[in-house]
């Protein structure tokens, strides 16, 4: 919902978030991070490139496509980050930091258990 204000989908935001924090990544790294197939990431990357948010990083290996944020992409990331931070503050009102950290820990355990079920 908050992302739609910025004309972004969750997968697009996840890629912007990852690249902002990591600097650059290959499509394989992004597909592993998102837990989706490479063709899905390729479509999302192409859309973000069209929007002017991403650009390819020159690499020695032509088979490997490495992406990074453009200046526009960095600016959009920061704008969206403000919106998300405000949203998170609103929905976490009345929940202590300790309780939030415990919730994160529990969700990590659940995610780990789910992954093990799928193997």
pLDDT tens per residue across span 58-106: 888 777 889 999 999 999 999 989 988 888 888 889 999 899 899 989 9
Query: Which single residue is written with the structure tokens 């193997």?
Result: 119
Q: Which residues contact 73 (CB under 8 A, 6 or more apart)?
A: 16, 19, 48, 52, 53, 54
Domains of the chain: 3-94 (1.10.10.10)
Rounded distance between C-alpha atoms, residue 63 and residue 59, angstroms: 9
End-to-end CA distance of the chain: 32
Q: Are 76 and 16 in contact (CB under 8 A)?
A: yes
Predicted model pTM: 0.75
Query: Which single residue is written with the structure tokens 């902002």?
Result: 20
């Amino acid at each position: 919902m908050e992302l739609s204000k910025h004309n972004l989908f969750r997968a697009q935001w996840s890629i912007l978030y990852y690249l902002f924090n990591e600097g650059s990544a290959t499509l394989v790294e992004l597909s592993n991070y998102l837990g989706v197939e490479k063709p899905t990431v390729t479509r999302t990357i192409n859309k973000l490139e069209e929007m002017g948010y991403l650009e390819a990083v020159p690499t020695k290996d032509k088979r490997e496509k490495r992406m990074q944020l453009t200046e526009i992409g960095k600016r959009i990331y920061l704008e969206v980050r403000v919106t998300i931070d405000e949203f998170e503050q609103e929905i976490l009102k009345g929940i202590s930091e300790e309780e939030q950290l415990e919730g994160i820990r529990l969700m990590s355990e659940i995610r780990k258990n789910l992954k093990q079920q799928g193997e």
